[in-house]
Amino acid sequence: MGYQQYGISPQLVERIKLKMKNPAMKERVKDLVHGVSKQDLQNGPKVQRLVRSTASLLKEKFTPAEEEKMVRFILSQRIDPNNTFHLIKLWGMFR
Protein backbone atom coordinates (compact mmCIF):
# COMPACT_ATOMS: atom_id res chain seq x y z
CA MET A 1 0.00 0.00 0.00
CA GLY A 2 1.24 3.45 -0.87
CA TYR A 3 0.63 5.19 2.43
CA GLN A 4 2.68 2.61 4.36
CA GLN A 5 5.77 3.62 2.37
CA TYR A 6 5.44 7.03 4.03
CA GLY A 7 5.36 5.52 7.52
CA ILE A 8 1.61 5.97 8.04
CA SER A 9 0.35 3.08 10.16
CA PRO A 10 -2.44 0.83 8.92
CA GLN A 11 -4.02 1.06 12.39
CA LEU A 12 -4.34 4.84 12.06
CA VAL A 13 -5.86 4.49 8.58
CA GLU A 14 -8.36 1.89 9.83
CA ARG A 15 -9.34 4.09 12.78
CA ILE A 16 -9.97 7.05 10.48
CA LYS A 17 -11.89 4.90 7.99
CA LEU A 18 -14.12 3.70 10.82
CA LYS A 19 -14.81 7.28 11.93
CA MET A 20 -15.56 8.30 8.33
CA LYS A 21 -18.34 5.69 8.20
CA ASN A 22 -20.34 7.99 10.48
CA PRO A 23 -22.51 9.97 8.00
CA ALA A 24 -22.34 13.20 10.04
CA MET A 25 -18.55 13.02 10.29
CA LYS A 26 -18.25 12.22 6.60
CA GLU A 27 -20.36 15.28 5.69
CA ARG A 28 -18.23 17.56 7.90
CA VAL A 29 -15.05 16.36 6.23
CA LYS A 30 -16.64 16.69 2.77
CA ASP A 31 -17.63 20.28 3.62
CA LEU A 32 -14.05 20.97 4.75
CA VAL A 33 -12.50 19.79 1.47
CA HIS A 34 -15.24 21.14 -0.81
CA GLY A 35 -13.67 23.45 -3.36
CA VAL A 36 -10.09 22.32 -2.72
CA SER A 37 -8.07 22.53 -5.93
CA LYS A 38 -5.07 20.68 -7.30
CA GLN A 39 -2.98 23.77 -6.52
CA ASP A 40 -4.21 23.72 -2.89
CA LEU A 41 -3.15 20.07 -2.61
CA GLN A 42 0.35 20.97 -3.80
CA ASN A 43 0.75 23.75 -1.24
CA GLY A 44 2.45 22.38 1.89
CA PRO A 45 1.03 24.89 4.41
CA LYS A 46 -2.51 24.50 3.02
CA VAL A 47 -2.27 20.70 3.15
CA GLN A 48 -0.98 20.92 6.72
CA ARG A 49 -3.98 23.09 7.68
CA LEU A 50 -6.33 20.58 6.02
CA VAL A 51 -4.70 17.69 7.90
CA ARG A 52 -4.97 19.56 11.21
CA SER A 53 -8.58 20.59 10.56
CA THR A 54 -9.53 17.06 9.60
CA ALA A 55 -7.82 15.69 12.70
CA SER A 56 -9.78 18.14 14.83
CA LEU A 57 -13.09 17.16 13.20
CA LEU A 58 -12.32 13.47 13.72
CA LYS A 59 -11.09 14.09 17.27
CA GLU A 60 -7.71 12.58 16.40
CA LYS A 61 -4.42 13.65 17.97
CA PHE A 62 -1.61 13.31 15.45
CA THR A 63 1.99 13.59 16.55
CA PRO A 64 4.04 16.14 14.62
CA ALA A 65 5.80 13.20 12.91
CA GLU A 66 2.46 11.61 11.86
CA GLU A 67 1.22 14.96 10.58
CA GLU A 68 4.40 15.48 8.55
CA LYS A 69 4.12 11.97 7.06
CA MET A 70 0.54 12.65 5.99
CA VAL A 71 1.45 15.99 4.43
CA ARG A 72 4.35 14.40 2.52
CA PHE A 73 2.06 11.58 1.34
CA ILE A 74 -0.63 13.98 0.10
CA LEU A 75 1.88 16.23 -1.67
CA SER A 76 3.57 13.28 -3.37
CA GLN A 77 0.26 11.94 -4.76
CA ARG A 78 -0.21 15.07 -6.89
CA ILE A 79 -3.97 14.74 -6.46
CA ASP A 80 -6.29 16.52 -8.83
CA PRO A 81 -9.75 16.42 -7.21
CA ASN A 82 -11.32 17.07 -10.62
CA ASN A 83 -9.67 14.01 -12.19
CA THR A 84 -11.80 10.90 -11.73
CA PHE A 85 -8.80 8.62 -12.29
CA HIS A 86 -6.97 10.24 -9.35
CA LEU A 87 -9.98 9.76 -7.10
CA ILE A 88 -10.40 6.10 -8.13
CA LYS A 89 -6.68 5.52 -7.48
CA LEU A 90 -7.01 6.98 -3.98
CA TRP A 91 -10.19 5.01 -3.32
CA GLY A 92 -8.34 1.81 -4.23
CA MET A 93 -5.48 2.65 -1.89
CA PHE A 94 -7.75 2.92 1.13
CA ARG A 95 -10.34 0.19 0.48
11-24 pLDDT per residue, tens = 999 999 999 999 99
70: buried, middle or exposed (CB in 10 Å: 19+, 13-18, 0-12)? buried
The number of residues making up the chain comes to: 95
Model pLDDT for residues 6-59, shown as the tens digit of each residue: 999 999 999 999 999 999 999 999 999 999 999 999 999 999 999 999 999 999
Average pLDDT (65-79) is 95
CA distance from start to end of the chain: 10
Taking Cα atoms as reference points, which of 27, 68, 31, 26 lies closest to residue 51? Answer: 68
Q: What is the pLDDT of residue 29?
A: 93
The Cα 93–Cα 5 span in angstroms is 12
The pTM score is: 0.88
Q: What is the pLDDT of residue 34?
A: 93
- 1 pLDDT more than 80: no
Eight-class DSSP state of 6: G
Q: What is the pLDDT of residue 30?
A: 92
